[in-house]
Chain A
């Protein structure tokens, strides 16, 4: 599956309450917390069904943290803190209403990233409760994405519809972005405001990244 994404990312030191929420004891935290927004397209599906773009397009927000897999940096995003704008599989991802700043190549005066350019993103539950808002300001171009940001670890766990008090736990999975092509990579500063929909409220600040990416994705492997 070939995926295209515009990403807005914030690295920050997690306050204790948020850390307790997002860190899985089986996958220890070795790096900063990571807030990631993505405007995404399944390029294979889009090419196959051009009249049904709603199937190929989605947005997502994820709150995770730096970890290690096989001695290399990686980033962990676990259910229910990996939220997509639509349920796209039976992996039980959480869903949320997510929007982020979109730019258009034809906008007068726009030529990709620029110092001072502001980008923003917002996520709320489909019931309307705010989850998190992100604001970042770009400062300078970069040439390489942060170590480990494109190697993902996910605990696949979701409610069992046949037994409401129980979760189905499929364990930890390693899913790397394969052959990523990265464009318009910038760093800057940013802040995020977490709200009740996240289960922890507060404001954090940190280092921000913004870029576009096309990569291949496979099912991954169990850890």
Chain B
């Protein structure tokens, strides 16, 4: 009798900034058939651990940053990664295969080891990080965590529904990340200090930060499903 596949889970801490963009910018950036629902972008800096004995130690934790655009797609509201930065080239490949714009980058994000977190987390002090490409920092973000909030009360309420658009010749496959289970551990509102430069600044144009959050959540990993008709 075959054994069920072991669960592959991951835990993530995300520093998030919600930004207003100039009118019409998001629609220009989104690939068809995704359509804009707000002139906003969400900037995430994420540190992630995979809880999987089958992977090597070095594969089990990685850093990620995203420029996510809220949108409407074939399966309802979600987001699309206009940029998905990773410190692992293997995961950049995964980003491209998923239909996002993957970029290899140097990423640094404040985190505390899990056992240390039992003593002094959630952080009472600001948490920050940055993304650099070719030695130049393109995103710098510091969040100062405040009081807990409900995810559904934030603009990020659909942040775990991530579309991808893979275009082959004249055909666009639209994918949606499918998690078997999402566990939102904690969302805290925060003030966010964001600085953009280089490609990230050119991509988004003028931005105004309207909100910040510190999110901790877990995912029982599934995969992606094709949702285009």
Interface assignment of A211: CB less than 8 Å from any CB of chain B: yes
> Hey, which bits of chain A sit against chain B, CB under 8 A?
4-7, 39-41, 43, 46-47, 50-54, 56-57, 99-110, 112, 118, 120-122, 181, 183-184, 210-214
- What residues of chain B lie closer than 8 Å to A53, measured between beta carbons? 108-111, 128-129
> Hey, which bits of chain B sit against chain A, CB under 8 A?
7, 9-13, 48-49, 51, 53, 56-58, 60-61, 108-121, 125-130, 140, 142, 181, 183, 185-186, 216-220
CA distance A212 to B119 in the complex (A): 8
Nearest residue (CB) in B for A39 is B113
- What residues of chain B lie closer than 8 Å to A110, measured between beta carbons? 9, 11, 51, 218
CB distance from A43 to the nearest CB of B (A): 7
A6's partner among B10, B48, B115, B120 (CB-CB below 8 A) is B115
Q: Are B130 and A102 in contact (CB under 8 A)?
A: no
CA distance A214 to B112 in the complex (A): 11
Q: Are A51 and B142 in contact (CB under 8 A)?
A: yes
14 A-B pairs, CB-CB below 8 angstroms? A6-B113, A41-B112, A41-B116, A47-B126, A51-B129, A54-B108, A56-B110, A99-B58, A102-B49, A102-B113, A103-B49, A107-B9, A109-B51, A122-B57
- What residues of chain B lie closer than 8 Å to A51, measured between beta carbons? 128-130, 140, 142
CB distance from A178 to the nearest CB of B (A): 15
Identify 14 new A-B residue pairs, CB closer than 8 A, beyond the known A4-B113, A106-B186, A212-B118: A4-B112, A41-B111, A41-B116, A47-B126, A50-B125, A57-B111, A103-B11, A104-B218, A106-B12, A112-B114, A211-B115, A212-B114, A212-B116, A212-B117
